[in-house]
Amino acid sequence: MTTDVAIIGSGNIGTDLMIKVKRLSTHLRVVAMAGIDPDSDGLARARRLGVATTHEGVDGLVRLPEFADVELVFDATSAAAHARNDAVVRDLGRLVVDLTPAAIGPYVVPVVNLGDHLDATNVNMVTCGGQATVPMVAAVSRVAPVAYAEIVASIASRSAGPGTRANIDEFTQTTARAIEVIGGAERGKAIIVLNPADPPLIMRDTVYCLVSGELDREAVRASVAAMAADVRTYVGGYDLKQDVQFDRVEEAFVPALGRPFSGTRVTILLEVAGAGHYLPEYAGNLDIMTSAALRTAEHLIADRTGVPA
């Protein structure tokens, strides 16, 4: 049994997602793609793959005959565009998986909290930095209290398209909030770096967690390793670059907490390589978003149809 889905957004993320659905999913079938650039490579590829297309955005999408059987819509546009896209398709009874930082629906990081939101009609995939780092914050917080977590996501400038660049503020705000809401940190902060290196570098992420009180280092190592293995079930290029690092902190003032902190700083270093379905390997930041969105959509549909994902 397959479920028909559609994609809004014919840029890098939407196109990679379309190819992933076609190659990897036995439960979903992409039947329509909407964009706003009639000459986009994404729409051209979709047509070659037998997918119905429109360059008239969400309004054109809902007029396509194929939309009648669509159950779920992926939005791979921008935070600014998502509000209207969501209103249109949800008013027509479709589920929405939001790959923008708009955060209209609840944040979802599949390996951490997907089961909590299977009844939602709009779910938000946070950001690429959130998908990569929130699992690590959650891995630490499930075995130790995290007073503060800070993440630095470094991505190749060449993999940051106009949507990513337009949403930098939303990226930092949404990711920081997800670090708290999903990751379990008391306070969170997110930083994104667009690295102009040529040749482009693979996505790298650094996660810092300040842990109060006594810390069982072996428990943290085991939790982080287990979480990384879980993420790799749907993001094959997700890797820990070295062993978890621990540093003692004595009475250091933490501005985000507004107070001195004593405890342990836990540092986790990650690398995320893309699968190369449509995007180059260095674009792990985009690959982790489309992989997480696919995993989420499959489980949302499975929960409603009773067919295991």
**Measured distance CA(145)–CA(175) in Å, rounded:** 19
- 40 assigned to a ligand binding site: no
Cα–Cα distance measured from residue 157 to residue 137, given in angstroms and rounded to the nearest whole number = 25
Written as six digits, the tokens of 22 are: 């076609």
Name the one residue in this structure whose structure tokens are 């670090």.
179
Percent of residues in the chain assigned helix, strand, coil, to nearest 5: 40, 30, 30
Whether residue 128 lies in the annotated active site: yes
CB 185 within 8 A of CB 137: yes
- 116: enclosing H helix or E strand: none
Q: Is 35 annotated as a binding residue?
A: no
Q: What dihedral do alpha carbons 159, 165, 168, 169 form, nearest 10°?
A: -170
164 is in an annotated binding site: yes
Task: Say whether 11 counts as a known binding-site residue.
Answer: yes
Tell me whether residue 78 is annotated as binding: no
Q: Is 166 annotated as a binding residue?
A: yes
Amino acid at 193: V
Residue 13 assigned ligand-binding role = yes
122 annotated as ligand-binding: no
* Residue 12 counted as an annotated binding residue: yes
Catalytic pick among 8, 34, 108, 128? 128
160 in a known ligand binding site: yes
Provide the 10 A C-beta neighbour count for residue 178.
32
Known binding-site residue numbers for NAD(+): 10-13, 159-167, 285
Q: Point out the residues that are catalytic.
A: 128
